[in-house]
Chain A
C-alpha cells in the first residue's frame, strides 16, 4: 500500500477526534445530570407529559 504514513495519520486523527469528542460530550452530560433535578431534565421525563 502506498502513502501508508499519510493514511494512518489522517485516518488515526479523524477517528480519534470523533471518539474523544463523543466521550467528552457524554462525560459532560453525566457530570451535569447529577447537578440538575430530574424535573428540570425535560427530555427524559416523557411520562410526565400529558
Chain B
C-alpha cells in the first residue's frame, strides 16, 4: 500500500516501478538534453573561430564550464562536510558525498579537455611547470582520496568524519587553483580569467555562458539523483541491520524455547 502511494506520488502510475526519478527530475532531464543539443549547435555552427586558435577555441565551451562546475561541486562537498562535523546529520553527509563524486567527474573532464585543447594551442598536452595544471591535478587527487576514504566504511560516523576533513582540506586548494594564473602569472601557459577579461566576442561569450547554464542544470539533476541513491544506500544498510537483528532475536527465542522444552 505504501509502495502504491509512493509510486502514485512519483506520477508514473505503476506501483511496481521503483526509481529515483520524479516529475521534476524528468522535466529537468529533458531541459538538460535540449540544452546539450543547443550547445553543440551553438558551439559548432554559430560561434565564430578564433583569429589565433582557429576552431580549437570551440573547446572553451566545455572546458571552462567543467572547471567552474568542479569548483561548485567541491565547495558543496566542503559545505556538506562542515555541516556534518557540526550537526552530525546524514543529510549533509550524503550531500557532501554526492557532490564529491560529481565533482571528481567534472575535474577529470577539466583536465582531459584542457589537455586536448593544449596540444593545438600550446603544442603540448601537459606541462609540469604550469602551476594551474599541477594545482588542478592535486585537487583531483585529493578528491579521489575523499572517495577512497568514503568507500572504506559504509555508514561508520568515523569514516564520514575522516572524509569530511579531507573534503575541507581539498576546498582550501580551490582558490589557489582559481587565482594561480594571477599569483604565478610567469609560471603558467594559461590566460587570465576568460569570462571577465572582455576579450571574447558576443556570440562566443553567449555560448560560453549558455554552456555554463546547461552544465549547472546537469549538476542539479545529477545531484538530486545521486543524493537519492546515497539516501537509498543509507536506508538499505539500516534495513539489512534491522533484518539481521530480527534474525538473531528469532534464533535466540527459538534456542530459549527448545532449551525450556528439553528441561520439561
Interface residues of A (CB under 8 A from B): 1-4, 6-7, 9-11, 13-15, 17-18, 21-22, 25-26, 28-30, 32-48
Check B149 for interface membership: any CB of A closer than 8 A.
no
What's the Cα separation between A17 and B116 when bound, in Å? 15
The 9 closest A-B pairs by CB, nearest first: A29-B20, A33-B18, A32-B232, A2-B54, A38-B6, A10-B116, A3-B56, A40-B235, A38-B3
Is A30 in contact with B238, judged by CB distance below 8 angstroms? Answer: no
CB-defined contacts of A17 to chain B, threshold 8 Å:
105, 108-109
Please indicate the chain B residues that have their CB under 8 angstroms from the CB of A48 in the complex.
Answer: 2, 5
Please, how many angstroms separate the alpha-carbon atoms of A28 and B232 in the complex? 10
Which B residues form the contact surface with A (CB < 8 A)?
2-3, 5-10, 18-22, 29, 36, 40, 43-44, 49, 54-56, 58-59, 62-63, 66, 102, 105, 108-109, 112-113, 116-117, 119-120, 218, 221-222, 225-226, 228-229, 231-233, 235-236, 238-239
Interface of A is mostly: helix
**Residue pair B120, A44 in contact (C-beta under 8 Å):** no
Kindly report which residue of chain A lies nearest to residue B29, judged by CB atoms. A22
In Å, the complex CA distance between A40 and B10 comes to 15
B36 contact from A10, A15, A34, A37, Cβ within 8 A: A15
Interface majority SS (helix, strand, loop, mixed), chain B: helix
Within the complex, which residue of A1, A15, A22, A30 is in contact with B55, where a contact is CB–CB below 8 Å?
Answer: A1
12 A-B pairs within 8 Å (CB atoms) are namely: A1-B55, A6-B120, A7-B58, A10-B116, A17-B105, A17-B108, A25-B222, A28-B229, A33-B232, A35-B239, A38-B2, A44-B22
Complex interface: chain B residues within 8 A of A1 (CB)? 44, 49, 55
Q: Which residue of A lies closest to B18 (CB)?
A: A33
Q: Given A25-B226, A32-B232, A33-B20, A14–B56 Cβ distance below 8 Å? A: no
Bound: A44/B13 CA distance, A: 13
Distance in angstroms from A24 CB to nearest chain B CB is: 10
Chain B residues with CB under 8 A of A28: 229
Contact of A22 among B63, B120, B222, B231 (CB under 8 A): B222
B62 A47 Cβ-Cβ under 8 A: no
Which A residues touch B229, using CB under 8 A?
A: 25, 28-29, 32
Contact: B66 with A14, CB < 8 Å?
A: yes
Q: Select one of B7, B10, B109, B232 contacting A14, CB under 8 A.
A: B109
Residues in A with CB closer than 8 Å to B63 are 10
Min C-beta distance of A36 to chain B, whole Å:
5
Of chain B, the residue at the smallest CB distance from A44 is: B6
The verdict on A40 contacting B238 (CB below 8 Å), with A3-B120, A10-B113, A13-B112 known, is yes
Out of B6, B58, B116, B225, name the residue touching A41 (CB < 8 Å). B6
